[in-house]
Amino acid sequence: MYHHVKKLMYTVNIGEPDVRFGNMLLEQFGGANGELAAAMQYTIQGWNCVDDLGRRDLLMDIGTEELSHLEVVGALIRMHLKPLKTNRQAAEADPLVTIAGGGGVALFDSMGNAWTANYLKVTGELDVDLRSNIAAEARAKIVYERLIDHTDDPGTIDTLQFLMTREITHMKAFTAALDSLEKAPFSIGRLKPTPGIVDEYFNGSTGDGDEGDTDMRGPWESSFDLHLVESPMNGGKGLSVGEVNGKIAGEDRGRQDESQKATTSVADETLGKKGAGSSRAGNGRVATAKRGR
Ligand SMILES: [Fe+2]
Which residues touch 239 (CB under 8 Å, ≥6 apart)? Answer: 197, 200, 202, 229
Q: What is the pLDDT of residues 119-166, one digit of tens each?
A: 999 999 999 999 999 999 999 999 999 999 999 999 999 999 999 999
pLDDT at 276: 40
Instruction: Identify the bridge partners of residue 200 per DSSP, sorted by sequence position.
Output: 227
pTM, two decimal places: 0.84
Query: What tens digit of pLDDT does each residue of 17-55 get?
Result: 999 999 999 999 999 999 999 999 999 999 999 999 999
- Cα of 291 vs centre of ligand 1, distance in Å, is 51
Centroid of ligand 1 to alpha carbon of 166 (angstroms) = 6
pLDDT at 262 over 70: no
Which residues have beta carbons under 5 A from ligand 1 (an ion)?
A: 35, 66, 69
Rounded to the nearest whole angstrom, what is the distance from the C-alpha of residue 167 to the centroid of ligand 1?
6
**SS3 assignment, position 156:** helix
Q: What fold, for 19-179?
A: Ferritin (1.20.1260)
pLDDT at 135: 98
Residue type, 285: R
Closest to 27 (Cα-Cα) out of 138, 159, 146 = 146
108 pLDDT higher than 80: yes
Reported as a single tens digit per residue, the pLDDT across 46-70 is 999 999 999 999 999 999 999 999 9
Instruction: Select from 46, 185, 35, 61 the least CA-distant residue to 129.
Output: 46
**256 Cα–ligand 1 center, Å:** 44
45 CA → ligand 1 middle, Å: 16
Q: CATH 1.20.1260.10 region(s) of the chain?
A: 19-179
CA of 50 to the centre of ligand 1 (A): 24
Percent of all residues in the chain with a pLDDT value above 90, rounded to a whole number: 71
